[in-house]
Amino acid sequence: MKKSSPTSRSGRFAGGPAADVAQFTESISFDWRLWRHDILGSTAHATMLQKIGVLTQAELRAILKGLDTIAKEIAAGKFFWKPELEDVHMNIEAELTKRVPAGAKLHTGRSRNDQVALDIRLWLRDETIELCLELMDLKKALIELADKNSEVIIPGYTHMQRAQPVYFAHHLLAYVEMIDRDHDRFDDCYLRMNVCPLGSGAIAGSTLPLDRELVAKLLDFVDLKTGKPRVTQNSMDAVSDRDFAVEFCSVAALLAVHISRLAEDLILWAGAEFNFIKIADAYTTGSSLMPQKKNPDIAELARGKTGRVIGNLVALLTLLKGLPMTYNRDLQEDKERLFDTANTVRATTRLMAAMLRHTKVNAVACATAANDPALLATDLADYLVRKNMPFRQAHHVVGAVVALAEKSGKPLNQLTLAELQTVDKTFGRDALGVFNLKTAMAKRNLTGAPGTKEVAKQLARWREQLAQ
């Protein structure tokens, strides 16, 4: 009998695949990226195989040494990947078996179906941890910029029209809230990816007495509280489920959407029309034609890349839609989408943080914009409410005051008391006092409002939370 060779075709097939078939079906060009986790998984599987008597101590030692050497070669860029061996799993196993005869026992009780499910989970766990650290840093960068400009007030906008004054810090903290919820969502999705599928075989587990719990423990698939191993509970689900990947891509899409909104604000603020911020040269680009241009390309790309992150989520969902049980080769298409999403959101998160750390606020331009008295028209209505006028009526009265100011070509706060009283007698001497921006900001002290004390409190809360 021919010596067993670790390919999916040995025995059953007369020859190799046609050249264009190999090219069409290979995944090594992108799944090589899973090598570290593939080797980690094989190490745990081999350790378990020795415990249950499939491998001798010596065979285990030889396999572990062989895997370690291969890992070093890959890390050093000295490993030769063969497309004809399809994927990362086959490449590593074939090379191991060539060097270590006991390598032929490594695939005992294992299929590439549960192996790839394992590798992606292991890989995604690491990516999620790294991304969460990067999100933490982005939150910190936002807080730092808010802290540095804690006195700065800008107009807040609705419908892109000036609405009410807010602290610049309050505006940035809105993004900290969003990104913090995304961070929570990643933490939560980690819990569901942190379950070990190995032992599910191709579809139906194995007749061999594999110790799934041991493998799970070795790979740290444990309940974070109890330390108990967590293994998948249905072999068919385990080899065909990719919802942990969909979940990651969906949270990533939401994160990208949040970052795109921040990016859009920064782009607007950096323009001459607003002139609220200046992004350092190193984080902008020039124009090939217009010498005066300084473009916020990082923010624009952060906004633009959101498209591919959303696209990746849709691609994954479409890939899974109507897919019959269990593993189908379609699933190989999951990786590029997942890799691209992780690459994109991680890079975007890092670059946004770096750019924020190289952004200066133009306090003068902000003050000029924030001093528009129209921003305090609602405060004038509140003044009337305090004098017992029903809010609907107060809204109407102040509307008439705004019209009067417009007609007389004066800013709202330049109207005289006599002029105010032509609209309504309720206005007293103290009415014009509402246009003092400082006092106005001191009054907004509801939880979550952009008032002086409240924003300081929120900033302190975040500073403390992020220091941990």
Judged by the rule CB under 6 A, the positions of this chain that interact with ligand ARG are 27, 31, 87, 112-113, 116, 327, 329, 331-332
Is 196 or 331 the residue whose CB approaches ligand ARG more closely?
331
Closer residue to ligand ARG, CB minimum distance, 27 or 43? 27
Which of the following is catalytic: 150, 159, 250, 258?
159
- Rounded to the nearest whole angstrom, what is the least distance from the CB of residue 112 to ligand ARG in the complex? 4
If the CB atoms of residues 120 and 166 are measured against ligand ARG, the closer one turns out to be 120
- Minimal distance in Å, beta carbon 450 to ligand ARG? 50
Nearest approach in angstroms of CB 79 to ligand ARG is 18
The token pair at 191 is 């819990």
The closest of 97, 83, 87, 103 to 38, measured between CA atoms, is 87
**Nearest approach, Cβ of residue 45 and ligand ARG (Å):** 15
CB of 1 to ligand ARG, least distance (A): 24
Catalytic residue of the set 4, 8, 150, 287 = 287
Q: Which residues of 193-219 are buried (b: 16+ CB within 10 A; e: fewer)?
A: bbbbbbbbbebebbeeebbbbbbbbbb
- For residue 73, CA distances in Å to 7, 68, 80, 173 come to 21, 9, 9, 46
CB atoms within 10 A of CB 324: 7
Specify the residue, 97 or 113, whose C-beta has the smaller distance to ligand ARG: 113
Assess contact for 223 and 230: CB atoms under 8 A. Answer: yes
Shortest reach from residue 56's CB to ligand ARG, in Å: 29
159 is catalytic: yes
Q: Which is nearer to ligand ARG, 86 or 134 (CB)?
A: 86
Q: Which is nearer to ligand ARG, 24 or 292 (CB)?
A: 24
Judged by beta carbon, residue 116 or residue 299, the one nearer ligand ARG is: 116
Measured between its terminal Cα atoms, the distance across the chain in Å is: 63
Give the Å distances, CA to CA, from 374 to 298, 368, 417, 434.
34, 13, 17, 11
Residue 167 pairs in a beta bridge with 153
- 195 near 232, Cβ under 8 Å? yes
Decide if 111 is catalytic.
no
For residue 414, the tally of other CB atoms under 10 A from its CB is 13
Angle at alpha carbon of residue 219, lines to 216 and 223, rounded to 5°: 60
b/e map 34-52, b = 16+ CB within 10 Å:
bbbbbbbbbbbbbbbbbee
CB of 116: closest distance to ligand ARG in angstroms? 4
Smallest gap from residue 31 Cβ to ligand ARG (A): 6
Q: Which is nearer to ligand ARG, 118 or 459 (CB)?
A: 118
d(CA 396, CA 144): 41
Q: What is the DSSP string of 391-402?
A: HHHHHHHHHHHH
> In 271-376, which residue ranges form alpha helices assigned H by DSSP?
297-320, 334-357, 363-370
Smaller CB distance to ligand ARG: residue 27 or 341? 27
418: nearest Cα among 405, 427, 409, 430: 427
Query: Which secondary-structure segment (H or E) carries 155?
Result: strand 153-158
Query: Closest approach of Cβ 39 to ligand ARG, in Å?
Result: 16
Q: Helix, strand or coil for residue 179? A: helix
Q: Write the CA distances from 368 to 84, 162, 408, 433, integer angstroms.
A: 67, 13, 22, 19
Cα–Cα distance, 34 to 95 (Å, whole number):
16
Q: Just list the catalytic residues.
A: 159, 287
